[in-house]
Amino acid sequence: MNNQEWYTNAFEEWYPIVYQHRDEKEAQQQVEFVLSKLNFQYNQKILDLCCGYGRHLFFLYPKVSFLVGFDLSLYLLKKAQNFLPIKISLIRGDVRYLPFSQESFDIVLNFFTSFGYFDEDKENIRQIEQVSFVLKNKGTFFFDYLNPAQVEKITNMETEKIYQSYIIKEKRYYNKNKNELKKEVFIYLNTQLIKSYIEKVKVYSLDEISSIFSSQSLSIQKIYGDYNGEPYTEESPRLIIIGEKNE
C-alpha cells in the first residue's frame, strides 16, 4: 500500500467495526457541547468536514436549516445517505480541494482528529487554508484533535478489543523524528486474520497549530481539553480549539 494513500483504505466497511465506540451516543454528547459553546443560529450554513456516516449531522439537523457533510469515503457517505434526513447535502471529495465558493459557511466543524493525514506539512496546511477560504469573515472553526502532549508519551502500545465475532488488535507507535503517530490495525474473525491496514496522523503541537491558524487568518478564541469543557492541559484526552476567521 502507498503510505500516502492510507486514508483511502481505512474508512471503508471495516471502519464501523474498529470504531464501534464512536457511536450516536458519543456524537450527541459532542454536539451538545458544540451547541453550548458556539453561537448557532437556525439559518446559518454549517459544514461538517470529514463527516463520516453523519452521526454529528444527525443531531445538528433539528438545530440548523442548512447542513453539508463532506467526506472522502464513498462507503461512509452511502451509509450516511441511509442514516440522515434527505435535506442534508452530502458531498464527496478531498479536504485539500473543497468544492465550495469563498465565504460559503458560517461554521466549519472538524471532529475526531480529521487533520494531519498527509506526509507533507504543506498539504496539511492546505486543509486549513481551504477551511479559511470557505468560512465567512467572523465565522467559526471547531477543531477537535488529539492531544500532542499525550501522543508523545507513546512508544509501543498494543490494545485488543472484541466486537461480536471480531477481534481487533491495534499497535501504536510514535515516531518523534517524523512527528507521526502510526497505528497498525489487525482484524480477526475468530482466530483468522481477515484484514490489516495502517492509519497515520502527523502530530502538531499547540504552538504549531496556532501558527498554522494564524497564517490562514484564523485566531484561537477558546481551547478545551475534553467534551466536558475542562481546560486544556498536557494530561487532557483531547485538544479542542474554537477558532474565528479574521480578515
Give the list of residues 6+ apart from residue 247 with CB closer than 8 angstroms, or none. 137, 217
Cell 502530530 belongs to: 203
Which residue range forms the structural domain that includes residue 178? 151-200
Q: Give pLDDT, residue 216.
A: 98
Average pLDDT value over all residues in the chain:
94
Cβ(22)–Cβ(54) below 8 Å: no
Q: Give pLDDT, residue 161.
A: 93
CA dist., res. 222 & res. 215, Å (int): 18
CATH number at residue 120: 3.40.50.150
Q: Is the domain of 185 the same as that of 85?
A: no
Q: How confident is the model over 162-176, as pLDDT tens digits?
A: 999 999 999 999 999
CA dist., res. 208 & res. 228, Å (int): 25
Q: Is the domain of 76 the same as that of 178?
A: no
Q: Is the domain of 87 the same as that of 181?
A: no
CA dist., res. 5 & res. 1, Å (int): 8
CA dist., res. 109 & res. 98, Å (int): 14
In the predicted model, is pLDDT for residue 90 greater than 70? yes
CA dist., res. 145 & res. 151, Å (int): 11
Q: Is the domain of 117 the same as that of 172?
A: no
Q: Is the domain of 160 the same as that of 229?
A: no
In the predicted model, is pLDDT for residue 190 greater than 90? no
Nearest to 215 by CA among 140, 125, 155: 125
Q: How many domains are there within the chain?
A: 2
Q: Give pLDDT, residue 153.
A: 85
In the predicted model, is pLDDT for residue 4 greater than 70? no
Alpha helices in the chain (DSSP H): 15-18, 24-37, 55-60, 74-83, 121-134, 148-151, 206-215
Mean pLDDT of 131-138: 98
Q: Is the domain of 73 the same as that of 99?
A: yes
CA dist., res. 220 & res. 3, Å (int): 32
Q: Is the domain of 14 the same as that of 92?
A: yes
Q: Give pLDDT, residue 185.
A: 96
CA dist., res. 158 & res. 156, Å (int): 7
pLDDT band at 101 (very low <50, low <70, confident <90, very high): very high
Q: How confident is the model over 197-243, as pLDDT tens digits?
A: 999 999 999 999 999 999 999 999 999 999 999 999 999 999 999 99
Backbone angle region of 9, left / alpha / beta, with phi > 0 → left and psi within -120 to 50 → alpha = alpha
In the predicted model, is pLDDT for residue 2 greater than 50? no
Q: Is the domain of 179 the same as that of 75?
A: no
Q: How confident is the model over 58-75, as pLDDT tens digits?
A: 999 989 999 999 999 999
Q: Give pLDDT, residue 154.
A: 84
Q: Is the domain of 216 the same as that of 193?
A: no
In the predicted model, is pLDDT for residue 44 greater than 70? yes
pLDDT band at 155 (very low <50, low <70, confident <90, very high): confident
CA dist., res. 28 & res. 86, Å (int): 20
Q: What b/e readout covers 46-68, taking b as 16+ CB neighbours within 10 angstroms?
A: bbbbbbbbbbbbbbbbeebebbb
Q: Give pLDDT, residue 45.
A: 97
What is the C-alpha radius of gyration for the chain, rounded to an integer number of angstroms? 18
Backbone angle region of 191, left / alpha / beta, with phi > 0 → left and psi within -120 to 50 → alpha = alpha
